[in-house]
Structure 1
């Protein structure tokens, strides 16, 4: 019975640590780009990132 408890504790601990590392990686990667992990622009409802750069170029030409 005690071995079963320790085995479940070890598996749970490894899983929680793994999920924590994965979330940390995602958050760190999210901060590096303007649009996060998806590469989609949230301002206009899902256009690709290049649309934002095109908009910036259009604004500077005016």
Structure 2
């Protein structure tokens, strides 16, 4: 029973978008994937702004 719980509720599955089967069953897949996309975009923008700031410091020196 422990393995079934792990497999269905805690283990991410590559074939279904790295979500759990329970996420798919309960209709959370799209919401999870959308949130991941938003976080990825925010991370890229933060990194871009950070790197631009570093370039400005180097160019100013």
Larger-gyration structure (1/2): 1
- Which bin holds the TM-score, normalised by the shorter protein? 0.5 to 0.7
Task: Please list every run of 5 or more consecutive structure 2 residues that lacks an aligned counterpart in the other structure.
Answer: 1-27
Q: Structure 1 stretches (4+) deviating beyond 6 angstroms?
A: none
Provide the TM-score with structure 1 as the length reference.
0.53
Task: Please list every run of 5 or more consecutive structure 1 residues that lacks an aligned counterpart in the other structure.
Answer: 35-62
Give 1 or 2: higher helix fraction. 2
**Residue equivalent to 1:20:** 47
1:6 aligns with 2:25: no
Number of matched pairs = 34
Provide the TM-score with structure 2 as the length reference.
0.53
Work out which structure has the larger RCO, using CA pairs closer than 8 Å and 6 or more positions apart in sequence.
2
